[in-house]
């Protein structure tokens, strides 16, 4: 139908392919995504894609990179405390996740080493270091923060088709305490909940900075 004749350019390039792939995953989900469906969406032969991205894995990498690029902040100056920078980055990350709930599992699963990811991290850790946080705390911070962000957002988005899940109602007799607390989980996935938890993580980092190598509150075995 919409097939080009051989040899004539169909205007394919890594960027356009990635953009359409993101839209496709947003619409149909990761499970249904594939080279053939993407090719149809592009009006192109499946094998044509392989001239720009060598395999499905590379395709998934391109998708990850494309959505991650949306997180980059507008102001790239070095103003703001590390808390402000970190909080703003985390919020933009959350917004991206909500914009692409079905793409997000890719980000949490695959290691991110693209320049756009590293640039954001560099900004964060350099602000922390400039503020005098101990090196070990700063070194731990990215893994800790994005560990939380990925796991939390994964949990919150893995519910409904549209990604915004609801708590699935539990057995009050078998789990009395959890049942009692259920009303307090009404805001599951809400901005307020996110801010509460993000603040708790940042508090943890800040307080750890106060006693850089102190023992944990309970027994610590050295191993």
Partner DNA sequence: CTTCCAAAACCTACGTCGTAGGTTTCTGCT
Partner DNA sequence: AGCAGAAACCTACGACGTAGGTTTTGGAAG
Q: Which does 37 bind (CB under 5 to 8 A by kind): a copy of itself, DNA, none?
A: DNA
Separation CA 112–CA 106 (nearest Å):
10
Give me Rg for the CA atoms of the chain.
Answer: 21
Report 156-215 residues binding a copy of itself (CB under 8 A): 156, 158-159, 165, 168, 170-171, 174-178, 180-181, 184-185, 188, 191-193, 195-197, 199-208
Token output for 177: 């305490």
Q: Does 84 bind a copy of itself (CB under 8 A)?
A: yes
C-alpha distance from residue 223 to each of 73, 138, 140 (Å): 40, 22, 18
Separation CA 192–CA 214 (nearest Å):
32
Q: Which does 210 bind (CB under 5 to 8 A by kind): a copy of itself, DNA, none?
A: none
Residue 46 or 134: the one with the smaller Cβ distance to DNA is 46
Stretch that binds DNA, among 6-14, 141-149, 190-198, 214-222 (CB under 7 A): 6-14
Three-state secondary-structure class, residue 163:
coil
Give the interface with DNA as residue ranges (CB under 7 A): 3-12, 32-37, 44-48, 50-52, 55-57
């Amino acid at each position: 139908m919409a097939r080009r004749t051989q040899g004539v350019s169909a205007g394919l390039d890594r960027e356009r392919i990635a953009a359409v792939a993101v839209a496709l995953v947003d619409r149909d989900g990761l499970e249904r995504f594939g080279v053939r469906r993407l090719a149809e969406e592009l009006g192109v032969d499946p094998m044509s894609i392989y001239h720009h991205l060598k395999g499905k894995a590379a395709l998934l990498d391109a998708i990850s990179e494309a959505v991650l690029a949306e997180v980059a902040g507008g102001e790239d100056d070095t103003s703001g405390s590390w808390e402000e920078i970190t909080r703003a980055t985390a919020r933009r990350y959350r917004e991206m996740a909500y914009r692409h709930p079905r793409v997000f599992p890719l980000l949490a699963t695959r290691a991110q080493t693209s320049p756009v990811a590293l640039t954001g991290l560099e900004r964060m850790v350099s602000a922390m270091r400039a503020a005098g946080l101990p090196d070990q705390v700063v070194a731990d911070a990215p893994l800790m923060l994005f560990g939380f962000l990925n796991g939390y957002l994964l949990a919150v988005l893995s519910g409904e088709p549209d990604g915004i899940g609801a708590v699935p109602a539990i057995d009050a007799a078998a789990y009395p305490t959890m049942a009692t607390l259920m009303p307090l989980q009404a805001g599951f996935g809400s901005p307020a909940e996110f801010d509460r938890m993000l603040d708790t993580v940042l508090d943890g980092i800040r307080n750890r900075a106060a006693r850089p190598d102190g023992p944990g509150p309970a027994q610590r075995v050295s191993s």
